């Protein structure tokens, strides 16, 4: 069956400098096996499938697949999928009142997405696990990153779907200098601040299991930035609003915009750009 398809670059103002997500727009009727097989074929960090919503108040439902598994939530796929849905005119999406939030249904629940200053931004979901990381797990992270224990200034769990273990190094240069080995089954996020007055507040890198002893580095990671923003703010590393840089060593120009509204909700925003627009046979 011929289905609408888009590939969207997320968290960048320049095509091919952000993090791409593949979106199958007409995904109703596809089996789990078909979705997973197509995600393997695209070989992107995530491929998403737009479906009719099942929960009251949702505008659409999305399923998010990596080449190896389904995720309950992920950040850049949320923004890229919303971008594709708004352009698809499904259920009058293109005529949607721009002043109201779009509501996405995913395995993690309902996620709000809003349009602001030419960007899309999602409301950060609650953490499923937080708090300090036990020393044995810190030791695993230190070994994987190839650094000394003293280089880690702080380490916390930041699980909002992906089970991130977040570590803070002394500065952005230390983050950029990392040449990690295998992270095993760990999802490791690393952050370090830029000097005061810099255009970006922090540099972020995300390392994920790639199967076997392979470590994958994600170019720009919405879920990680969402998960660590409250921690960074509470420890005085950043103040809202701020911009995080990611993907520098991968030749990307990822920029993630973090803010907090009057109700205390953290919003994670970025520019989204269509790079491929057409159809796929599934």
Global confidence as pTM: 0.93
Choose, from 46, 105, 203, 217, the residue flagged as catalytic: 46
147 with 226, same domain: the answer is yes
Query: Is residue 105 among the annotated active site residues?
Result: no
* Structure tokens, 40: 């393997």
Task: Return the closest-CA partner of residue 95 out of 84, 86, 104.
Answer: 86
Backbone angles phi, psi at 147, to 5 degrees: -125, 175
130 in any annotated domain: no
Write down the pLDDT at residue 252. 97
Predicted confidence pLDDT, tens digits, the chain (282 residues): 999 999 999 999 999 999 999 999 999 999 999 999 999 999 999 999 999 999 999 999 999 999 989 999 999 999 999 999 999 866 566 566 777 899 999 998 999 999 988 899 999 999 999 999 999 999 999 999 999 999 999 999 999 988 999 999 999 999 999 999 999 999 999 999 999 999 999 999 999 987 778 899 999 999 999 999 999 999 999 999 999 999 999 999 999 999 999 999 999 999 999 999 999 999
Residue recorded with tokens 């979106």: 23
69 in any annotated domain: yes
105 with 144, same domain: the answer is no
Write down the pLDDT at residue 264. 96
114 with 191, same domain: the answer is no
Write down the pLDDT at residue 89. 67
Residue 248's contacts (CB-CB under 8 Å, 6 or more residues apart) are: 176, 203, 254
91 in any annotated domain: yes
Rounded to an integer, what distance in angstroms lies between the CA atom of residue 225 and that of residue 223?
6
Q: Which domain holds residue 236?
A: 135-257
Largest Cα span, the chain: 56
CATH classification of the domain holding 201: 3.10.310.10
Q: Which residues pair with 187 in a beta bridge?
A: 164
Write down the pLDDT at residue 92. 62
Rounded to an integer, what distance in angstroms lies between the CA atom of residue 275 and that of residue 7?
6
119 with 140, same domain: the answer is no
106 and 113 in contact (C-beta within 8 Å)? no
Write down the pLDDT at residue 116. 86
Residues 276, 76, 34: CA angle, nearest 5 degrees: 65
N residues, the chain = 282
208 and 234 in contact (C-beta within 8 Å)? no
241 with 274, same domain: the answer is no
Rounded to an integer, what distance in angstroms lies between the CA atom of residue 147 and that of residue 165?
16
* Structure tokens, 76: 């850049």
Q: How many domains, in total, are found in the chain?
A: 2
129 in any annotated domain: no
264 in any annotated domain: no
């Amino acid at each position: 069956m011929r289905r609408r398809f888009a590939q969207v670059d997320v968290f960048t103002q320049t095509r091919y400098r952000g993090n791409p997500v593949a979106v199958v727009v007409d995904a109703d009727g596809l089996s789990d096996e078909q979705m997973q097989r197509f995600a393997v074929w695209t070989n992107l960090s995530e491929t998403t499938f737009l479906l009719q919503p099942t929960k009251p108040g949702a505008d659409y439902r999305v399923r998010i697949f990596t080449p190896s598994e389904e995720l309950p939530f992920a950040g850049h796929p949320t923004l890229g999928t919303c971008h594709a849905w708004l352009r698809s005119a499904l259920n009058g999406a293109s005529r949607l009142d721009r002043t109201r939030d779009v509501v996405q249904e995913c395995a993690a629940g309902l996620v709000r997405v809003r349009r602001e200053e030419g960007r899309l931004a999602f409301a950060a979901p609650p953490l499923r696990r937080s708090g300090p990381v036990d020393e044995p797990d810190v030791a695993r992270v230190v070994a994987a990153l190839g650094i000394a224990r003293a280089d880690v200034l702080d380490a916390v769990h930041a699980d909002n779907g992906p089970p991130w273990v977040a570590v803070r190094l002394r500065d952005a240069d230390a983050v950029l200098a990392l040449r990690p080995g295998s992270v095993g089954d760990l999802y490791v996020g690393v952050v370090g601040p830029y000097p005061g007055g810099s255009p970006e507040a922090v540099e972020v890198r995300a390392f994920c299991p790639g199967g076997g002893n392979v470590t994958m580095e994600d170019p720009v990671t919405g879920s990680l930035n969402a998960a660590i923003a409250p921690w960074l703010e509470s420890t005085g590393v950043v103040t809202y609003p701020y911009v995080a840089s990611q993907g520098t060593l991968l030749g990307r120009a990822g920029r993630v915009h973090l803010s907090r509204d009057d109700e205390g909700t953290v919003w994670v925003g970025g520019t989204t750009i269509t790079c491929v627009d057409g159809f796929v046979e599934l």
